[in-house]
Amino acid sequence: MTDYTHNPFASTHSLDTNPFDDPSTPTQSPSHAAEAARLEELRQRERDLERREREVNAKAENIRLHGKNNWPPFFPLIFHSIADEIPEASRPLITRLYQLWLVLVLTLIINMVACIFILLSGAEEGGRDLGASIGYLFIIPPVSFLLWYRPIYNGYMKEQSLYYYFYFFFGGFHLLFSLYMIIGVPSTGAAGLIRMIQMFAQHRWAAAVLGVVSTVGWTVQGLGNAYYYRQIYAHHTAAGHTLDKAKTELASHGAKAYFTRG
């Protein structure tokens, strides 16, 4: 006999219930989603850096095994090849820095010759100018190459923090030295503005013209280095280089590694 008291809709609850509407199911808030996206971005960045480091190390090892020292040309001590060691996007910048370094060397030569003519003109303290200018010619080129050009060359090659901090410190000092040489205080070995004006006033034309060339050389390489100094600082900031990373790298590799390609 059929039970007419049975409710035919009594079991519809199980059919209408959506398992995805269960209030116990956790939901992801916008802040959690943003945090997850940020972590994934950091992981991707770390993977990219690791891949780049592997590529750079492999390239450096290949050059170490098969490349030969080629710089300086007259007495090769190190391997220097912007085309082989620097990423394509950064080659123009490093090329310009190298050209500015060459302008620095040429300016030092002209500065010394100008100081010879200053001495021959009978200028007071001309002997000191010549002595200091000869010292600059022998000391500044190798020191500047090792302390600011080579570190930033390696910095763009390997993208490690300590290279950049070497460059910022010694490159900044070089900018101050360039300003000092532009001024041309007598007896300091600088055929800059003050010495140039003195030579014009005394009608010492050879010394005066050489002083103009020397001053222009110091100004060109000084302004050029200042311009690229700003560009490099912006790149260093965007790349996430920090002083803490530099300290860690120094502890791991030592300072010697930052003057070589190994």
Which residue is listed with tokens 């620097």? Answer: 86
Q: Model confidence over 32-54: pLDDT tens digits?
A: 888 888 888 888 888 887 887 77
Residue 15 lies in a domain: no
Q: How many residues does the chain have?
A: 262
Q: Is the peptide bond before 72 cis (omega within 30 degrees of 0)?
A: yes
Number of domains in the chain: 1
Query: Does 24 score more than 80 pLDDT?
Result: no
The torsion angles phi and psi of 72, rounded to 5 degrees, stand at -70, 155
**Integer Cα distance of 55 and 61 in angstroms:** 10
First-to-last alpha carbon distance for the chain, in angstroms, is: 95
Q: Model confidence over 80-113: pLDDT tens digits?
A: 999 999 999 999 999 999 999 999 999 999 999 9
Query: Does 14 score more than 80 pLDDT?
Result: no
Alpha-helical regions (H) of the chain: 12-16, 30-66, 82-85, 91-120, 126-144, 150-158, 161-183, 193-201, 205-238, 243-253
Residue 119 lies in a domain: yes
Residue 42 lies in a domain: no
Q: Model confidence over 159-179: pLDDT tens digits?
A: 999 999 999 999 999 999 999
Are 213 and 108 in contact, with CB atoms under 8 Å apart? Answer: no
Residue 17 lies in a domain: no
The share of the chain scoring above pLDDT 90, in percent, equals 60
Burial class (CB in 10 A: 0-12, 13-18, 19+), 215: buried
Query: Does 15 score more than 50 pLDDT?
Result: no
**Which positions ≥6 away from 224 have C-beta within 8 Å?**
96, 100, 103
Give me the mean pLDDT over the 204-231 stretch.
Answer: 97
**pLDDT classification of 12: cutoffs 50, 70, 90:** very low
258 vs 129, more confident:
129
DSSP output for 177-224:
HHHHHHHT-TTTT--SHHHHHHHHHTT-HHHHHHHHHHHHHHHHHHHH
Q: Model confidence over 111-151: pLDDT tens digits?
A: 999 999 999 999 888 999 999 999 999 999 999 999 999 99
**Integer Cα distance of 149 and 209 in angstroms:** 30
**pLDDT classification of 157: cutoffs 50, 70, 90:** very high
Residue 72 lies in a domain: no
- Residue 57 has, within 13 A of its CA and on its CB side, a CA count of 7
The mean pLDDT of the chain is 86
**Integer Cα distance of 195 and 15 in angstroms:** 99
**pLDDT classification of 2: cutoffs 50, 70, 90:** very low
The torsion angles phi and psi of 29, rounded to 5 degrees, stand at -75, 160
Are 191 and 107 in contact, with CB atoms under 8 Å apart? Answer: no
Secondary structure class of 58 (helix, strand, coil): helix
Which residue is listed with tokens 């040429």? Answer: 106
Query: Does 1 score more than 50 pLDDT?
Result: no
Residue 55 lies in a domain: no
Residue 145 lies in a domain: yes
Q: Which domain holds residue 177?
A: 107-239
